Amino acid sequence: MKNLMGGAAAIALMSGAAFAGGHLPIEPGSGDYDWTAYDEFAANTDLSGQSLSITGPWTGDEKAKFDAVVALFAEATGAEAEYSGSDSFEQDIVIAAEAGSAPNLAVFPQPGLAADMAARGQLSPLPEGTSEFVAENFAAGQSWVDLGTYANASGEDELFGMFYRVDLKSLVWYVPEAFEENDYEIPETMEELIALSDQIVEDGGTPWCIGLGSGAATGWPATDWVEDMMLRTQPPEVYDAWVANELSFDSPEVIGAIEAYGQFARNEDYVAGGGETAASTDFRDSPNGLFEVPPACYMHRQASFIPAFFPEGTEVGEDVDFFYFPAFEGQDLGSPVLGAGTLFSITNPSDTANAFIEFLKLPIAHEAWMTQGGFLTAHGGVNADLYADDALRGQAEIIQGATTFRFDGSDLMPGEIGAGAFWTGMVDYTTGASAEEVAAGIQERWDAIK
């Protein structure tokens, strides 16, 4: 345990320092990357002396990985490109855009927020031809175009967002060894999952680790739970109606999903300390319980990006693995999958910003992060062998096997709800408020902004 955790700081530090030296983490021409398109792009694009600023939600280790991608862009174009991440990105970008000092590009973790800003005229449409490109080259392309298309200030639909990094949310992480030692089986259905949780409690363990803390975005992990539960208790049409608020937030269907989440999070047998502890634990720390001796918990439901926060040296597939967060056998809703993604938008138009969007269409822009791990893409032209591990390839398979794929609902709701009321409401619910009260409060906020 000790040596697993011990090196974490040092390694992350070294990876940060490596870029400061200015040499490329991935040398053009090396490896199985797609260099032809890159060389062509480099030959046709000269932006020497110009600069490009990008802000986004990736900090620390994730920033270091994205810096490698930015470095390739700078190398190809001669532009001075800099990415800076912020823990409170959602707030910072709104202030910057309102005040007219926005960076060239913003990486939104929330389509809802991007749509808000597009409606206020703070985003510029992506270069011509981008929507055709995405529709043709991304897996399920048209759905990604739809998710990036919003009404502009005068109410016309335009493509404002290009999806770059996709996350798969319906995953449960576990330590295979801990399961083996106790003869636990991977549950195939939600009924089995609940039975397994009860079994772990009976054996004197704590089945779940849940952490909702995330700085200014505290509460979002709970919204993912509720969305997953919604997809597992209601047909996808109801989910879509809920996200569009055609179905009221305080309707019984939604309250049922919130309470289905509460059965896990508010159960003191399932989560050490119950809801209070879940709400005050940082989502980045909560998976660490899996690796403690004796295990503080056995399962952790979190999206595909979470291995970035596991202790250093943890090998996905060996030390830790995942299974699909199963559906209720009794509901006959197939196997729904919840996903999400970050999108690039132009917040301050310039030639360099357009060029970067063109750069993101190249497979190399995706492959450069794929090899570093913690990255899934919808881009169809990438070399899948470059995924850092089998786990990521396995996740790609889950997406293929889904009978229903739905985008993270809170990301699609208006920013005020999906990046505000829903988050805080779920913290209130998790710490003891009633589901009806919380749902009614969120609906009230939604009515107020209509």
- The alpha carbon torsion through 196, 199, 205, 208 (nearest 10 deg) reads 30
Q: Which phi and psi angles does 167 have, rounded to 5°?
A: -120, 145
Q: How far is the CB of 393 from another protein (least distance, A)?
A: 22
Q: How far is the CB of 10 from another protein (least distance, A)?
A: 7
Strands 336-346 and 105-108: antiparallel
Binds another protein by CB under 8 A, chosen from 9, 151, 244, 384: 9
The H or E element that residue 157 is part of is strand 157-159
| Residue 61 vs 411, nearer CB to another protein | 61
Binds another protein by CB under 8 A, chosen from 47, 62, 168, 392: 62
Binds another protein by CB under 8 A, chosen from 205, 414, 415, 418: 205
Q: Is 154 in the site for another protein (CB under 8 A)?
A: no
| Residue 96 vs 388, nearer CB to another protein | 96
The vertex-396 CA angle with 73 and 354, nearest 5°, equals 25
| Residue 86 vs 404, nearer CB to another protein | 86
In sequence order, the 6+-apart residues with CB closer than 8 A to the CB of 246 are: none
Q: How far is the CB of 347 from another protein (least distance, A)?
A: 10
Q: Is 221 in the site for another protein (CB under 8 A)?
A: no
Q: Is 372 in the site for another protein (CB under 8 A)?
A: no
Contacts 24+ apart (CB under 8 A), 316-320: 316/389, 316/390, 316/391, 317/389, 317/390, 317/391, 318/176, 319/4, 319/175, 319/177, 319/291, 320/173, 320/174, 320/175, 320/176, 320/290, 320/291
**Residues in contact with another protein, shown as a per-residue x/- string from 309 to 338 under the rule CB under 8 A:** x-----------------------------
Q: How far is the CB of 281 from another protein (least distance, A)?
A: 8
Q: How far is the CB of 223 from another protein (least distance, A)?
A: 19
Number of chain positions touching another protein (CB under 8 A): 58
Q: How far is the CB of 330 from another protein (least distance, A)?
A: 31
Q: Are 343 and 163 in contact (CB under 8 A)?
A: yes
User: 2-21: buried (b, 16+ CB within 10 Å) or exposed (e) per residue?
Assistant: eeebeebeeeeeebeeebee
Q: How far is the CB of 307 from another protein (least distance, A)?
A: 12
Q: Which phi and psi angles does 159 have, rounded to 5°?
A: -80, 115
Site for another protein in 387-406 (CB under 8 A): none
Tokens of 391: 């786990």
Tokens of 160: 């404002």
Q: Is 203 in the site for another protein (CB under 8 A)?
A: yes
Binds another protein by CB under 8 A, chosen from 143, 176, 194, 284: 284
Q: Is 295 in the site for another protein (CB under 8 A)?
A: yes
Q: Is 22 in the site for another protein (CB under 8 A)?
A: no
| Residue 292 vs 385, nearer CB to another protein | 292
Q: Is 445 in the site for another protein (CB under 8 A)?
A: no
- C-alpha distance across the termini of the chain, in Å: 52
Residue 130 neighbours by CB distance under 10 Å: 21
Phi-psi region of 209 (alpha: psi -120 to 50; beta: other; left: phi over 0): beta
Q: Is 349 in the site for another protein (CB under 8 A)?
A: yes
Q: Is 155 in the site for another protein (CB under 8 A)?
A: no
Residue 77 neighbours by CB distance under 10 Å: 24
Q: Is 60 in the site for another protein (CB under 8 A)?
A: yes
What distance in Å separates the CA atoms of residue 391 and residue 317, rounded to the nearest whole number?
A: 6
Please, is 164 exposed, middle or buried when counting C-beta atoms within 10 Å of its C-beta (0-12, 13-18, 19+)?
buried
Q: Is 181 in the site for another protein (CB under 8 A)?
A: yes
In sequence order, the 6+-apart residues with CB closer than 8 A to the CB of 434 are: none
Binds another protein by CB under 8 A, chosen from 38, 42, 47, 63: 63
What distance in Å separates the CA atoms of residue 162 and residue 419, rounded to the nearest whole number?
A: 20
Site for another protein in 79-108 (CB under 8 A): 82, 84-88, 92, 95-96, 98-101, 103
- Residues forming contacts to another protein in the complex (CB under 8 A) are 1-3, 5-6, 8-10, 12-13, 16-17, 19-20, 53, 55, 59-63, 82, 84-88, 92, 95-96, 98-101, 103, 121, 124, 175, 177-178, 181-182, 203-205, 213, 215, 282, 284-285, 288, 293-295, 308-309, 348-349
